[in-house]
Chain A
Amino acid sequence: MRLDKAALIDRGSKLRFSFDGVGYTAHPGDTLASALMANGVRLVGRSFKYHRPRGVVAAGSDEPNALVTIGQGAEQDPNVRATVQEVFDGLSARSQNRWPSLGFDAMGVNDLFAPFLGAGFYYKTFMWPKAFWEKLYEPVIRRAAGLGALSGLPNEAKYEKAFAYCDLLVIGAGPAGLMAALSAARAGADVILADEDARMGGRLLAETGEVDGRPGVEWAEATIAELTQMPNVRLMPRTTVTGAYDQGTFGALERVASHLADPPADMPRECFWRIVARAAVLAGGALERQIAFQNNDRPGIMTASAARAYANRWAVAPGRRVAVFGNNAGIYQTARDLMAAGIEVPVVVDTREGAAEDVGTRVIEGAVVAGADGRKGVREIVVRRPNGAVRFAAEGLAVSGGWNPAVHLTCHMGGRPEWDAELAAFVPRRGAVPGLFPAGAARGVFGTAGCLADGARVADEALTALGHKPQALNVPRAEDGAYDIAPMWVVPGKGRAWLDFQNDVTAKDVRQAAAENFQSVEHMKRYTTQGMATDQGKGSSVQALAILADATGRTVSETGTTTFRPPYSPVSIAAMGAGGQGKGFAPERLTTSHAATLEMGAPMMEAGLWYRPSYFPKAGETTWREACDREAAMVRDSVGVCDVSTLGKIDIQGPGAAALLDFVYTGTFSTLKEGRVRYGLMLREDGTVMDDGTTARIGPQHYVMTTTTAAAGQVMQHLDFVTQCLRPDLDVAFTSVTEHWAQFAVAGPRAKELLEGLCDGPIDLPFMGCGPVSVGGLAGRLFRISFSGEHAYEIALPARYGDALFRALVARAEELGGGAYGMEALNVLRIEKGFITHAEIHGRVTAFDVGMQGMVSAKKDCVGKTMSQRAGLMDPGRERLVGLRPVDGGELPMIGGAHLFAEGDAPVRVNDQGYITSVAFCPALGESRALGFLKRGPDRMGERIKAVDHVRGETVICEVVDPVAFDREGGRLRD
């Protein structure tokens, strides 16, 4: 019901929205919760477990009941708090966890079985038969219980993440936060003021008290206006600080577009901020709790502060008659505010004796509300005194059981809050999060005047810690009544008194947990699920602890508390992962030949972050194998061109360059002559092979190392580690030049002919030679190295010429009967030659395993040498590199990953003899060839072995052969 009074809404303009398909109107300034209340909608959701009808109980993000789904299709957003969601024109909201409708929910039948569904029900009931859990019980329970659902579709909406820095982060823009921000801003600090609400001001927007002789709202507006003008202040409304992390880092979720009817296409829906602050003031206020009694979850029953907020800020109420119940002085302010707003307050029920104030209506002291009637909305309340019970008609009930400081962020780094018996609340432990200073209600200083003064004082404390000189700030005048709380947690009596509305936990559940010896708070929490819902028990955990304390004969302080973890309120995964969806997950690295390769119709494969061509299809070819076979044969017969720019290239210079290479490679590079290239094997410190590649000496103190594509980053990191930590004595400098050079392999009997037609002079390099080359007057590098077993070169020019050079090389190759070849053919060629890649040096094999122990120089030390010589790593019985061919020739119908077994053995784990790492059909051999690792492999040449691919269900008998199948003498390379 909308009240006829002034409020912070724009009555001059109307917004249309719908809830469960029914159209309503609202005003700018309304939340979905206030707008529903204005339209007389009290029933807004069904509870998690029992499907009980529920209404709005809070006015902020602590709302446990009023969770709705906003939006349709992929962008459907479940569990949105109606108390946070601003109404916009066209907003469409749906209730959750009900079927077929909110008014008639068939699952409401669960409530009738409540006596059987209490704490520990699942554990006791569904333990047997064991197999039933996954197949029957869990699916049924999940369907019956739950909140909103995701669409299951990929969410294409734009989300954003961002970073911000400041001297002082002020969390919360109520009286304490505004004073803290003002004080810090005037002192010249960089300030970020973040507030969860669309409008800053905190409780000043919801209360009627004056600040500095004018309404609190006006003071807040004036203060915000001043802050807005200051260049050193950033105001962040609609921003919830969700977590406190190490070294002054805070997570914060900003709602950017979720309140707009028609946001610009590029506007992100939400932004997840990482804010790094030298210090922070936690001025997040306090959250009011209720007192539990029978049926205290009926729609229309809410916290007293929420009732005041709805009446004062939004001019709405759950009905014409709203009763008030509580254990502290705040109930009288509530009654006054509601009556001033034109609401009838039939009774104020005060649990205390002798504290009544004259508010112009009936006050009953020493009494409790013992029950509520009205299933889908409260109709009547039962007020009980020692001498009997009285019923009052009421459409709403405002309840105050006291306030809980919002200590959540102070718990995020392991700190537990302390019990303050006088306040009957947990307050932050001092220093719980370094650099985080709680202020105002967040540390138990209640009341406007208290918060104003405390905000200024705590900001000064924080500023002093930062070395700023605080400015003396006049604290504006305000009046605070007494708090005067007399703790009461639950009204004794029959029936279910609700604590955790989100998880449907009652006072009886907590007592039952204690009775069944789940007496630790942590056990009680898990046994009952109290506080384990998305609100982390904001409105209920303290009552539950107090009941547990009572049931176990301890004080609350002795009982202790569970803790709060980030996030303070739920954060969508989409916001945290912003920018990382799909291809945003990692950058794409494209070679200079990328465009030309695509033009040639080559399908691309990913090699780390790089994209490389699989093969270059020709007209008439229908399978990749046809293209691959043709390309492999082409390299053997004429000439092929392949982009090898993705291999890591590291430029190494300085007097210590040779010594560094000798230290990181198993072989010796100090003896390598200028203009020559040598193959090298690099070990990890544990003696396992890290990487292999060639290194060229291009000057007396100048080398160029190549790495595999996969290990380029790892090798660079390794060199940094070696030079900074193991050999800081070496005077050597190195840097990656991978990106500077476009490098192409030109391989085949006509490679030299091709290059001589392209380059500016004759080509005269011996095998494993290198030197400068000139192409069209441009200076490049030429290496005579081969990964195909053919007479081959790698030619490099600065990357800007890569595209042109690739096109020129391919065109000339085609003239000579060759062309471009892709990764598939490259793989075939190297398997024919028994050359290893990371398929073989996969991180578990040693130089000994790949038959390269002879390359570990005996004359010098190198990284990993000693460890590689451990007896276990030199055991001849190890799985060692071999070649494998099908005994009957033909093709091996399997790929890497197949396992090897003795011919007569069952293909089971205990009989395992080794495994296959690479397989290819080799056109040069007319049959398939595999590389793999076999126990005692090199000693078993000619033996028959059974290769079993369990995934594909294939078994083939193979012959163990030398890994080098083609041109074993290497004549073609050197020719």
Chain B
Amino acid sequence: MIDLTLTAPLEGRAPVELGATTLAAADPGPLTLIMPFAGQTEATGAALEAAIGLGVPPVGQTRTAGDVRVIWFGRNQWLVAGAQVAADVPAAVTDQSDGWVAVTLAGPLAADTLARLTPIDLRPASFGPGATARTDLQHMPASITRIGAEAFLILTFRSMAQTLWHDLADALRGVAARQGG
């Protein structure tokens, strides 16, 4: 039987560290898109809660327990990251584990760096820890989640991994240069 090796979308990319801010490839684990069928959102939430301990968050929010995250992912869509969804949920369930590339951007310059690329309001009062948005990142479709006071999880299409990395690193370098570092 053939043994196929796997390749991560940002294979070989060492983290970019500037000052105390780091851009790094991330592995959010299995990604499963959950789209409840008509009128089944609550039931889907309950089934997910029973299966992975997390229900579906409201629009623009996430629910997190350890490494498992349920991310609001658009109209009638939630992305379960970090856990297999084996449960029988009344929803369309689609494996998206390989469809997205994930990076984390964390540190004091993280929000200023993102502000170079995405038009959303990143102020903590509007976009605090746990907040998530489907938006543009430069010209890429992205999912951006604040996973800590100064940390973000950023997803875009796997095929755009190199552009994502280039644009984020470039923006981070520009912001860092203003700090004299």
Contacts and interface: CB of A to CB of B under 8 A. Distances in A.
| Best-buried of A162, A263, A733, A738 by chain B (most CB within 10 Å) | A733
A28 B162 CA distance: 43
Contacts, number: 144
Nearest to A159: B174
Interface in A710-742: 731, 733-742
Contacts of A158: 174
Contacts of A266: 173-174, 176-177
B4 A804 contact: yes
A237 interface: no
Nearest to A610: B159
B174 A268 contact: yes
B116 A162 contact: yes
B3 A776 contact: yes
Interface in A748-807: 758, 760, 775-778, 797-805
Interface string A581-606: 00011111111100000000000000
A325 to B, nearest CB: 45
A651 B93 CA distance: 10
A265 interface: yes
B92 A654 contact: yes
A190 interface: yes
A265 B177 contact: yes
Interface stretch (B45-53, B54-62, B119-127, B146-154): B119-127
Given A274-B119, A579-B167, A778-B4, A587 B99 contact: no
Contacts of B94: 651, 653, 735, 737
Contacts of A160: 116, 171, 174
Given A160-B116, A804-B5, A733 B158 contact: no
Contacts of B167: 579, 584
Contacts of A264: 177, 180
B103 to A, nearest CB: 14
A51 interface: no
Given A587-B139, A654-B92, A739 B98 contact: yes
A165 B124 CA distance: 11
B123 A740 contact: no
Contact of A589 (B115, B157, B171): B157
A52 B63 CA distance: 70
Majority SS at the chain A contact face: mixed
Contact of B37 (A731, A802, A803): A731
Given A589-B160, A776-B2, A800-B7, A737 B115 contact: no
Interface residues of A, number: 59
A165 B158 CA distance: 30
A161 B116 CA distance: 6
Interface in A253-269: 256, 263-268
Contacts of B157: 589, 739
A165 B121 contact: yes
Contacts of B87: none
Given A161-B116, A164-B115, A590-B162, A731 B98 contact: no
A808 B160 contact: no
Interface size class of B (residues with CB under 8 A): 35 or more
A584 B5 CA distance: 32
Contacts of B115: 162-164
A251 to B, nearest CB: 13
A733 B91 contact: yes
A655 interface: yes
B38 interface: yes
Contact of B98 (A163, A164, A741): A741
Nearest to A649: B99
Interface in B18-72: 33, 35-38
Given A266-B177, A733-B76, A737-B99, A587 B140 contact: yes
Contacts of A610: 159
Contact of A163 (B119, B163, B176): B119
A683 B33 CA distance: 29
Contacts of B93: 653
B7 A777 contact: no
A930 B32 CA distance: 45
B6 A267 contact: no
Contact of A802 (B7, B160, B173): B7
Nearest to A274: B119
A799 B160 CA distance: 13
A590 B7 CA distance: 13
A738 B99 CA distance: 7
Nearest to A160: B174
Contact of A801 (B4, B36, B160, B180): B4
B138 interface: yes
A276 interface: yes
Given A163-B119, A587-B140, A592 B99 contact: no
Contacts of A777: 1
Nearest to B120: A163
Contacts of B121: 165, 276
A190 B123 contact: yes
Contact of B95 (A161, A162, A740, A760): A740
Contacts of A585: 139
B77 A735 contact: yes
| Best-buried of B9, B92, B120 by chain A (most CB within 10 Å) | B92
Contact of B8 (A586, A740, A760, A800): A800
A591 B159 contact: yes
Nearest to B40: A731
B4 A797 contact: yes
Contact of B7 (A267, A584, A803): A803
A776 B1 contact: yes
Contacts of B171: 160
Nearest to A730: B38
Interface string B83-117: 00000000111111111100000000000000111
Contacts of A799: 9, 98-99, 158
A803 B36 CA distance: 33
A165 B125 CA distance: 11
Nearest to A774: B1
B116 A165 contact: no
A739 B177 contact: no
A587 B138 contact: yes
B33 A735 contact: yes
Contacts of B7: 592, 800-804
A776 B4 contact: yes
A740 B98 contact: yes
Interface in A302-330: none
B137 to A, nearest CB: 9
Contacts of A738: 99
16 contacts: A161-B116, A162-B115, A163-B120, A267-B177, A588-B160, A589-B160, A610-B159, A651-B92, A651-B94, A654-B37, A731-B38, A737-B99, A739-B158, A739-B159, A799-B99, A808-B4
Give 7 nearest A-B pairs by CB, closest first.
A733-B35, A733-B92, A653-B92, A740-B99, A267-B177, A799-B98, A589-B159
Interface of A: 158, 160-165, 190, 256, 263-268, 274, 276, 579, 584-592, 610, 651, 653-655, 731, 733-742, 758, 760, 775-778, 797-805, 808
Given A162-B116, A587-B139, A804-B4, 12 more contacts: A163-B119, A164-B115, A585-B139, A587-B164, A590-B161, A654-B37, A731-B37, A733-B91, A740-B97, A776-B3, A798-B98, A801-B7
